[in-house]
Each structure stands twice: as structure tokens, then as C-alpha cells.
Amino acid sequence: MIEIVSAERCTACNICVHACPTNVFDAVPGGPPRIARQADCQTCFMCELYCPADALYVAPSADRPDATAVETAPRVQALMGSYRSSIGWGSGRTATAKRDSSFELLERAH
């Protein structure tokens, strides 16, 4: 579930407020969006992909909040933006869809 909106990194662009398919965030005038409905988060990681500032962190736990997911943890710092990087979104990157090797696996799966 979504755990972190980094006040340090967030530019208050509110893209996540629009992009979240389950409407988890509320915009806050002049500041970072608020996680208003964490229980509605479906842990799809889409907000991270759409955040141009890598200011969001979605913990892997789908059914309950994760109290250990705090911004100051070095482990979390290292993971923020990692999924966006791995699919090649963001300026100066190339979408890794171009290197999608699913066809190799689909041929061997069954």
C-alpha cells in the first residue's frame, strides 16, 4: 500500500491525485498531496510510475499498512523511483517495453 509522499521530493504537481485509479490521494493547496484513503490502495504501483519526482513509495504489503516503510530508511530511499527506472520511464530513459522478452518465455512456458 502507498506509504510515503515525500515532502522533500514532491513538487505538488498533483499528477498522482489524477493518476491513482482508486482515488487514494487528496490534493492539498500549496503542498504535497495527502494519503487520504490508504485502505483503498490496491498496490498497483501506478502512482510511482506517473510521479516525475520519484516522491512516492508503495510498500509491497497489499493487505495492511507497513509501519517499517519510513522515508528515512536507507532501504526505502534506495527503492524510491526504482520501478519507474526499471520500466524505462522518465526523461533520458527508453521504455524497456522495447526489450520485452515475454515471447521467449511464452514459447517455453507450456
Partner 1 sequence: MAVHDLHVLSGADASVRHDADVLVIGGGPAGTWAAVSAAARGARVLLTDKGYCGTSGATAPSGTGVWHVPRDAAAREKAKASRLEMGGFLAEHAWMDRVLEQTWVNIDTLTEWGYPFPVDENGQLRRTSLQGPDYMRLMRKAAKRAGARILDHSPVLELLVDDRGAVCGAYGINRQSGSTWIARAGAVVLATGGCAFLSRALGCNVLTGDGYLLGAEVGAQLSGMEFSNAYGLGPAFASVTKSLFYNWASFYDRDGRRIEGAGSSRGRGVIAKTLATQPVYACLDRADEQVRAWMRTAQPNFFVPFDRQGIDPFTQHFPVTLRLEGTVRGTGGLHVVDESCATTVAGLYAAGDAATRELICGAFTGGGSHNAAWAMSSGFWAGAGAATFARDARAFSHRRAHRTATVGLGEDAAQVWDPDEVIRAVQAEVFPTGRNWTRSGALLEDSLGRLDAWWTRVRRGRPAAGGVQVVRAREAAAMLATSRWMYRSALQRTETRGMHRRAEHPALDPAQHHRLVSGGLDEIWVRAQAVPTPAIPGAFGGRAAA
**Footprint of partner 1 (CB under 8 A):** 17-23, 40, 42-46, 49-50, 59-63, 75, 79, 82-83, 86-87, 89, 95-106, 108-110
- Alpha helix (H) residue ranges in 20-81: 46-50, 74-79
Closest CA to 18 of 64, 60, 52: 52
All three cell numbers of 107: 514459447
CA-based max dimension of the chain: 53
